Amino acid sequence: MLRRLIIIPISLFFVVAFSYALVEIMPGDPALAIAGNTANEREVAIIRAELGLDRPFDERFVRFFTDIAQGDLGRSFFDGQIVSHEITRYFPASVEIMVLSLLFAGLIGLSLGALAGYFRQRAPDSVARIVITALQAVPEFLIALLLIFFIFYLWRWAPAPIGRLSLTDTYPPVVTNFLFIDLILAGDWNGLRSTAHRSVLPVATLAIGTAAYFAKVARATIGAAMSSKQVQFARACGLSEFKVLQYALLQARGPIITYTAILVAALVGGASIIETMFSWRGLGQWGLQAILNKDVPAIQGFVIATGSFTMIVYLALDLVVAALDPRIRHDRG
Amino acid sequence: MTAAESSPGTLRAHFGLWFGLTVITAMLVAAVFAPLPYDPIKPNADAVLQAPSAAYWMGTDSIGFDVFSRVIEAARRDLPLAFGGAIISAVIGVPLGLATTLKGRASEIIMRGLDAFQAFPLLVLAIAIVTLTGNRLEMVIFAIVLIETPRMMRLIRSEGLAIRESRFIEAAEAMGARPRRILFVHLLPNVTGIILAQTSIAAANSLTVVAALSFLGIGVSPPDPSWGVMIQAGARLMTSGQWWVSLFPGVAVFLAVMSLNLIADDLDVIFERTSR
Amino acid sequence: MSLVVKDLETRFITRQGVVYAANGVNFTVGDGEIVGIVGESGSGKTVTINSILGLLDPAGRVRNGSALFDGTDLLAIRRRELRRIRGARIGFIAQNPFGALNPMLTIEDQFYNVMRAHRRADRTEVRQQALEMLRRVGIAGPERTLDGYAHELSGGMAQRVVIAIALLLNPPLVIADEPTTALDVTVQRQILDLIKGLIREGQRSMLIVTHDLGVVAQYCDRVVVMYSGRVVEEGPVAKVFTRPLHPYTLALLRSVPRLGTEVQGLGGRVPDLLSRPTGCAFRHRCAFAKESCAVATPPTAAIGPDRAVACVLDVEREVPALVVD
Amino acid sequence: MSLIELEHVHRTFRRPDGTVVYAVHDVSLTVADGTTVAIIGESGSGKSTLGRLVLGLLTPDSGRVAFEGKTLSTLSAEEIRRQRARIGVVFQEPFEQLNPRLKVGAIVEEPLIIHAPNLKAEERRQRVSALLQEVDLDPQIAARYPQALSGGQQQRVGIARALIMQPSLVVLDEPTSSLDLSVRAQILNLFGRLKQARGLTYMFISHDITTVEYFSDHVVVLYLGRVVEQGPTAKVLRQPRHPYTQALLSARLSVDPSVSPPHLPLTGDPPSPTRLVSGCPLVGRCPIETPECARAPIALQTKDEDHRVACLRA
């Protein structure tokens, strides 16, 4: 258990060092590259000073770390906003889309996987395998386009992909930055309905892509558990098939939870593109824009924020797995 | 010949492998040899947004590019990028992964570092790297290698550690075999299946990364086609009904990625069985 | 109580082809009897009990036959009815207790689940009965055991828990699949003595699958010898083990090392179950094989009132007696 | 002459969770040239660890392991490697000990490639063929992969590999326990024949007392990493003095239904080898223990010439 906690600072160090390295890999004069061709000498000099390129490497490196340790991620080159403020402003929207899609993905994926695992080597399993293999092969942005084409264009079941609220809706006063929560706090039920409606396509996009992976791991682990001696003994004792499936799930839940951590990391990446396509205005969209703008402090902030976030998710799920398994739980005490 | 090798059901049993190999081979052959009906980088202003027809099999886009010609031309760019990236990852990742199976604190620390790396949203990382280094094609490969090599290493390491514990390695040590012999004669041949399967998966992943990058307009210069660029070109048209501009390159990505995954699945099964 | 298995045929559909695992298995377990099924790997002994209990892999299919348990055909009834019999009327003792017990649940929960699968009962009631069962299988601290998990137990203790679960609902028949193979030698005897005591005491019947001839000789009343998915010889242990009539039984008994005599092994290998056997499956390894052995599957012939042998030889005259020093 | 000497050998392992396993604890024994010494014990008794110490695959924490008079710890890595040509090994798992990607021929000739690199390929092939025949295998089998063979055939391949360098010692680590009864007998007979023909010394690791009785000249009984009794097979197994040896013998089940098994003196399971006990390891299960037994380590005492027992009441 202690080992897991020791890893956090090491991992965070890697994350920060990595975000720092991103500037270092820029070819030629990074300041010139960032400022662009139209910039004058003075603008370039300002960026250079901002990046600390006029100082020796080791000094810059230490400086970078001490700044971050104090929560100072600098200001955006692009619009001058304080990066840490921008992150707290956009992060909640990303959490919303990720939690929602993870929820749906888990629901769909685990059911599909459990079905396939339970009926392994029979017809439902074969069908599920084909569905999983096919879904895994569709890039998320393509799923988004197909959903837009069918559900918005052909069938008109969902509104146009142009943001979380329609142009006629007004945004509620900011309390938590979580739009759903703020709308509830403001008692704006029309707005809530509107944003829920507009969440369908982006959430479905991410959920479908992620569900395939959930289904894959659930199918494999539950399938293996179903042919285990434990399940055989449970059946031989006359337990109902429902109970038997529960036994198999108990065995499979550890690996599935561990795998969820990897899916979260992938989801953060996928969310960037999907948020942009649907103008979701979350951290992903903000970060992607920062990258395309070569807005170095914002990129570094984005990398550190997402890296730390997934790291924490990893750790939390690791602890959940340990807490659920009596074998690990008891060894600790 | 074992019973498994000679059994009549092989082709049916490994449908995925044969399907996948056929599709990928067809794509490669088309990319290399197929004559293109139209110039893929010269638009025809008289034929804008034509629906699929006898003249334009997959229709044309809003500038007047022939979608079919560009789907094939794009394969010439996307497939080598993905395969190149995957193969380089294997070439680097396999020896490094095997090296970490040697006992030692250093390898433990390296693996911890890689664990931390896995926590990154890797797609975002790839986008950042390629953008910041000036949007060049070779940086796409670099990004792919950066993403796929740790995965290869982890897999080879865990597989290698398992095989290291096996009796035949112990028997080889007991007969006085040197480490080099154990590595090349005993360890490596037993991870070949995993390497092939993982390289196939890496190629599939890379193809998705290439498509995502070019979808965002990263890593490719404008007139050159790439499946992602073409999907992007049709993205807006999806809401006005011209589905074919995005759909056909999308299908190409889908088929290629699925084929590579199917190949990997079956390779796993085949190698698992012949060694047990 | 009686269990009558007739013409049981089980196959597995695998990627390599059809595996003919059981090819017409016949035997009976009478009231109060302990019957041992003995055979080497691939003989179909485990497949036989898994077929009877409906525990086959998805790839396995019972193609033919019946298993009459007190007149009810276990192979023909609905799964719901079979489930009511399993655990309540037929107890099952698994080979490896750590594989069988659920590591995520307390031992008490596992007793509770089994009880609840068959009866309405509340927790305190089940706990009382579980404590009683644990005491009867010789567990010293039953309260602590109930509150703990499987991984906290030693191998012998875990197997005692499995036995307690198997006997919780007082089943008239117990099926045991290699119940001591996974245990240490000095523990095996303790567990076997325990099982036999509980079976006799409760006037139950037992079917025990094993590859250990010693277990059969010391703990069983009757023995069923299997080879290549078929019963080759059946009868009282006292008779079969002192005067085996099938050449395979004879060869098995001769393979047991005895001081001062050279052990006699069998040449050749167990036939491949991927092809349907024609003729006697043992003929390639049999010292007395004739041409006629290849023609047809030897029919099972009754020898006296309580024995049966599947061999074309005039077994009493042509198969030599087992010579022990 | 003694081929192997072990003096006060200790070996521990550390599990991932940090607990220490006392696998071999203060073991001393010698194996004379040309004999078969059986190491008998249950799981966790340290018998396989002992075999690996002799093979040099493990090094002792303390104590001395010597083979043909040379102490292993004083040899260089290269010398140990050369030494390994002199010791063959056959493992319990017939298939797992063979590399599934090599053909039988390549498996059997591998020691020759390592230790006699100058030998011509044709010469190697001939030696492999001759040896395959000696272990009752068709030389044609050299062209097949091990997974196509039966368990008995695989085990014969393992034996051929162990013998190709003409070693003086062969360590047999439960070589018959995962084989079917009918095959087991053939393999035991093969071992006997090879020993006679080649003058081999066997170190035979087993948990099956019937096989040991049939097969060995000397017996070493291990319990929780310690030697509790040792001596000539005839003495140890006919007049066992240690309660543990007696228990092992009475746990054996006769295949003769008219012989009922004797009373089993031991109760309970063997304890976990993670606990280091100060006195006799059998305390707690022993029918004749006294308070004294738990107090101090009990040394092996000579009872009848070469019959030695570690028991205060024997």
Q: Residues C169, C151: contact at Cβ < 8 Å?
A: no
Go through chain D and tell me how many residues it has: 314
Q: Is the domain of A207 the same as that of A109?
A: yes
List chain D domain ranges. Answer: 1-73+207-253+263-314
**How many Cα atoms within 13 Å fall on the side-chain side of residue D63?**
22
Element (H, E) at A224: helix A189-226
Please tell me the distance from the alpha carbon of residue A218 to that of residue D238, in angstroms, as a whole number. 57
Query: How much is the ipTM here?
Result: 0.90
Q: Is C132 on the interface with B (CB under 8 A)?
A: no
Q: Is D96 on the interface with B (CB under 8 A)?
A: yes
pLDDT at B3: 36
Map residue A281 onto helix, strand or coil: coil
Q: Residues A83, A186: contact at Cβ < 8 Å?
A: no
CA distance C247 to chain D (A): 12
Within a domain: residue A76? no
Cross-chain CB nearest to A268 (options B124, B218, B257): B124
DSSP annotation of C123: H
Q: Which CATH fold would you assign to the domain D1-73+207-253+263-314? A: Rossmann fold (3.40.50)
Cross-chain CB nearest to A326 (options C79, C94, C104): C104
What distances in angstroms separate CA C245 from CA A5, A16, C307, C314, one per listed residue? 68, 79, 10, 9
Q: In chain B, which residues have their Cβ closer than 8 Å to the Cβ of C16?
A: 3-4, 7, 9
Q: Is the domain of A56 the same as that of A204?
A: no
Q: Domain tally for chain A?
A: 2
Cross-chain CB nearest to A229 (options C58, C87, C94): C94
Q: Is the domain of A176 the same as that of A274?
A: yes
Please tell me the distance from the alpha carbon of residue C172 to that of residue C31, in angstroms, as a whole number. 9
Residue for token digits 């049993």?
B13
At D154, give phi and psi (nearest 5°): -60, -45
pLDDT at D204: 97
Are B3 and C16 an interchain contact pair (Cβ–Cβ within 8 Å)? yes
Residue A332 reports pLDDT greater than 60: no
Please tell me the distance from the alpha carbon of residue A285 to that of residue A271, in angstroms, as a whole number. 8
Please tell me the distance from the alpha carbon of residue B222 to that of residue C168, in angstroms, as a whole number. 75
Are A26 and B133 an interchain contact pair (Cβ–Cβ within 8 Å)? yes
For chain A positions 9-68, those within 8 Å of chain B (CB to CB) are 10-11, 14-15, 18, 22-23, 25-27, 33
pLDDT, tens digit (0-9, with 9 covering 90-100), for C89-118: 999 999 999 999 999 999 999 999 999 999
Are B3 and C15 an interchain contact pair (Cβ–Cβ within 8 Å)? no
Residue for token digits 């309390």?
A175
DSSP annotation of D58: S
Mean pLDDT of D233-243: 93
What residue spans of B100-136 are helical by DSSP H? Answer: 105-118, 122-132
Which of the four pLDDT bands, split at 50, 70 and 90, describes residue A287? very high
| D90 Cβ contact list (under 8 Å, min separation 6) | D97, D155, D158, D159, D162, D170, D171, D172, D173, D175
Question: If you write DSSP's letter for every residue of C219-269 in order, what string do you get?
Answer: H-SEEEEEETTEEEEEEEHHHHTTS--SHHHHHHHHTS--TTS------S-
* B12-25+62-275: CATH architecture: Orthogonal Bundle (1.10)
What distances in angstroms separate CA C302 from CA B255, C231, C309, one per listed residue? 65, 13, 7
Q: Residues A19, A304: contact at Cβ < 8 Å?
A: yes
Q: Is C189 on the interface with D (CB under 8 A)?
A: yes
At D70, give phi and psi (nearest 5°): -100, 130
Q: Residues D150, B3: contact at Cβ < 8 Å?
A: no
DSSP annotation of D294: G
Question: Chain-centre distance of CA D250, in angstroms?
Answer: 22
DSSP annotation of C191: H
pTM metric for this prediction: 0.90
Are C255 and D182 an interchain contact pair (Cβ–Cβ within 8 Å)? yes
CB atoms < 10 A from the CB of D164, how many? 23
Q: Residues D91, D173: contact at Cβ < 8 Å?
A: yes
pLDDT at A28: 65
Q: In chain B, which residues have their Cβ closer than 8 Å to the Cβ of D158?
A: 171
pLDDT at C66: 96
| Closest-CA residue of chain B to A136 | B258
Among A307-311, B144-148, C83-87, whose mean pLDDT is lowest?
A307-311
Q: Is D270 on the interface with C (CB under 8 A)?
A: yes
What distances in angstroms separate CA C166 from CA B134, C129, C290, D43, D269, one per listed residue? 70, 13, 46, 26, 21
Higher pLDDT, C200 or A59: C200
Within a domain: residue A92? yes
pLDDT, tens digit (0-9, with 9 covering 90-100), for B10-61: 555 688 899 999 999 999 999 888 888 888 888 888 888 888 888 888 888 8
pLDDT, tens digit (0-9, with 9 covering 90-100), for B202-220: 999 999 999 999 998 888 7
Please tell me the distance from the alpha carbon of residue A267 to that of residue C177, in angstroms, as a whole number. 47
pLDDT, tens digit (0-9, with 9 covering 90-100), for D74-93: 999 899 989 899 999 999 99
Element (H, E) at C93: strand C90-93
Look at residues B73, B70, B67, B85 and name the one whose alpha carbon lies nearest to residue B31: B73
pLDDT at D307: 94
Q: What are the structure tokens assigned to B5, written together?
A: 């090798």
Are D147 and B172 an interchain contact pair (Cβ–Cβ within 8 Å)? no
Q: In chain C, which residues have their Cβ closer than 8 Å to the Cβ of D175?
A: none
pLDDT, tens digit (0-9, with 9 covering 90-100), for C110-127: 999 999 999 999 999 999
| Closest-CA residue of chain A to C100 | A230
Please tell me the distance from the alpha carbon of residue B61 to that of residue C217, in angstroms, as a whole number. 84
At D226, give phi and psi (nearest 5°): -120, 150
**Where on the phi/psi map is residue D130: left (φ > 0), alpha (ψ -120 to 50), or beta?**
alpha
Higher pLDDT, B111 or A180: A180
For chain C positions 245-304, those within 8 Å of chain B (CB to CB) are 272, 274
Q: Is the domain of A192 the same as that of A47?
A: no
List chain B domain ranges. Answer: 12-25+62-275
pLDDT at A4: 67
Within a domain: residue A332? no
pLDDT at B172: 95
Domain range for residue A63?
Answer: 2-69
Q: In chain C, which residues have their Cβ closer than 8 Å to the Cβ of A120?
A: 58
DSSP annotation of C291: G
